[in-house]
Amino acid sequence: MRKMGWISTMAAVAALSACNAPDTATPKQESTAAQPSDTVPVIEPKGPSETTPAPQPSASEDGRPPLDNSAAQAKPGSCLTDLGREKAEKLSEQCYAMSPATRPACNVQNSCETIRKELKRGCEFGDTSENPAYCSEV
């Protein structure tokens, strides 16, 4: 049993030591053209007035993209149809704010029942002591 442990250890050491070994499969080709040996391009830093600010990513604090219901169309059975745009978007935004899901079902084109279920799930997730007041209404 000890012999197998020793062999396994030596095999692992040999495999790891081969990681930094030079590639000997292809012969080195010597070039006839002169190659610069130690030249490194120098990049001058830009001053503060020369830089342009990087665009900020449009995502919420948790890394999810912002909720956008602006292109949603009212369809039969959708929350948008049942409640109207203003109320449906408010419910959708509450759902999106509370949901722990990466891609929650908070879109206004889903049924209000689906959105409320996800909102309720989010309101019951984790520490509920600092939940917004609308969580008690769900």
Q: Where are the domains of the chain?
A: 79-137
* Per-residue burial over 70-83, b = 16 or more CB atoms within 10 Å of its CB, e = otherwise: eebeeeeebbbbeb
Model pLDDT, residue 16: 64
pLDDT, tens digit (0-9, with 9 covering 90-100), for 45-103: 665 555 454 444 444 566 778 888 988 998 999 999 999 999 999 999 999 999 998 88
Helix axes 112-123, 85-98, angle to 10 degrees: 30
* pLDDT band (50, 70, 90) for residue 9: confident
pTM score, two decimals? 0.55
